[in-house]
Amino acid sequence: TKVLSIQLIVFPMLMSCLAKKHRTEQVSSKDRPQDIPTDGGKQAMSSDKVAKGSLFGPDLVRKFTKEVLYAKQGGKPIVYGDRVLVELLKVSTLILEHAPEGTSGLEEDLIKFSWRLLKADDVTCKNWAYVNVSKHFAVFRTDGSR
């Protein structure tokens, strides 16, 4: 039931939210040039309010990372079945792809979650872990000294 809940409820809701956010950003960038405020900054203030009140805020990403991927206390990954892990990797990849600004300070936790799944026995889980890790490297700057 967890897998179906993520597949049928959570993932479509997040995709819908991100599609609305993307359409809003496209419309606002086409309507007026960025360097000429036409309304005295009122539109910028209202779009900031929308961004802060959006579904994909930093608070939700932090809660997802700390309470769903990791135990609240101790910071150890929660043990899930392979099918649930695949869905969590999909959601994590979606977050990295569409809302990387919300992951500030959580980059290490997100990469640790995916990195340990690169050795998973389940091929689907392993493949989604590769997708997630590659998305992480594409989004965040990494230095070669580590």
DSSP state at residue 74: T
Q: How far apart are CA 52 and CA 74, in angstroms?
A: 30
For residues 98 and 22, the model is more confident at 98
**Average pLDDT for 30-49:** 43
For residues 118 and 3, the model is more confident at 118
Q: Is the pLDDT of residue 129 over 80?
A: yes
Q: How far apart are CA 43 and CA 50, in angstroms?
A: 11
Q: Is the pLDDT of residue 17 over 70?
A: yes
In a domain, 20, yes or no: yes
Q: Is the pLDDT of residue 40 over 80?
A: no
In a domain, 122, yes or no: yes
In a domain, 69, yes or no: yes
What total of structural domains would you count in the chain? 1
In a domain, 144, yes or no: no
In a domain, 146, yes or no: no
Residue 70's domain spans which residues?
Answer: 2-139
Q: Is the pLDDT of residue 140 over 60?
A: yes
Tokens read off for 119 = 């050795």
Place 73 in a pLDDT band, splitting at 50, 70 and 90: low
Place 102 in a pLDDT band, splitting at 50, 70 and 90: confident
Question: What's the start-to-end Cα distance of the chain, in Å?
Answer: 40
Q: How far is CA 126 from CA 27, 87, 120, 146, in A?
A: 38, 12, 6, 23
